Amino acid sequence: MLMEDIAQATGILQQLKALGVGIAIDDFGTGHSSLGTLSGLPVNKLKVDRSFVHNLLESSRDRAITTAVIALGRQLELTVVAEGVETAEQSDFLLHHHCSAQQGYEFSAPVAFAELPGSIERLQASLQQPVAAGATRH
């Protein structure tokens, strides 16, 4: 919807950003997410689409696209979020390529709003537990 009138969208996004609202481009690399559009929008984050993360370890093309998006985001000083991380191996690959913001079933299944406080407490408790030498925490 925003991409139909990019000038109007940019104005609205700039107003939101001025209010302190963080703005992310979801599913970057698919659909209307072009580099020309990206350069003109006041965004804070890029999200690597789950379709690239899903086959990350099996597909050299998906690895190339994912690492390119991460590098682009870093060069533009944006946070890059990988969607659909389902395994520790995917997470490790992303961490190795400097993508520390990740979401997916590797960390948690979707949580109902009412269950959110308990889920956050469990996650915080698991993060406070010591990690064995040589192990990684996800």
Total number of domains constituting the chain: 1
Q: Which of helix, strand or coil describes residue 55?
A: coil
Q: How far apart are CA 124 and CA 111, in angstroms?
A: 15
Residue where the block lists tokens 């948690």: 108
Are 73 and 46 within 8 A, CB to CB? yes
The residue segments making up the domain with residue 40 are: 2-110
- For position 65, which CATH number holds? 3.20.20.450
Residue 43 domain-assigned (yes or no): yes
Domain annotation covers residue 132: no
The dihedral through the CA atoms of 28, 34, 36, 37 has a sign that is negative
- Whether 53 is in a domain gets the answer yes
Residue 26 lies in a domain: yes
Per-residue pLDDT of the chain (138 residues; tens, 9 = 90+): 556 677 787 788 888 888 888 877 776 666 555 676 667 778 888 899 999 999 999 999 999 999 999 999 999 899 999 999 999 999 999 999 999 899 998 888 888 999 999 988 887 887 776 655 444 444
Full-model pTM: 0.67
Residue 38 lies in a domain: yes
pLDDT of residue 28: 64
Q: 89 and 67 in contact (C-beta within 8 Å)?
A: no
Q: How far apart are CA 94 and CA 12, in angstroms?
A: 32
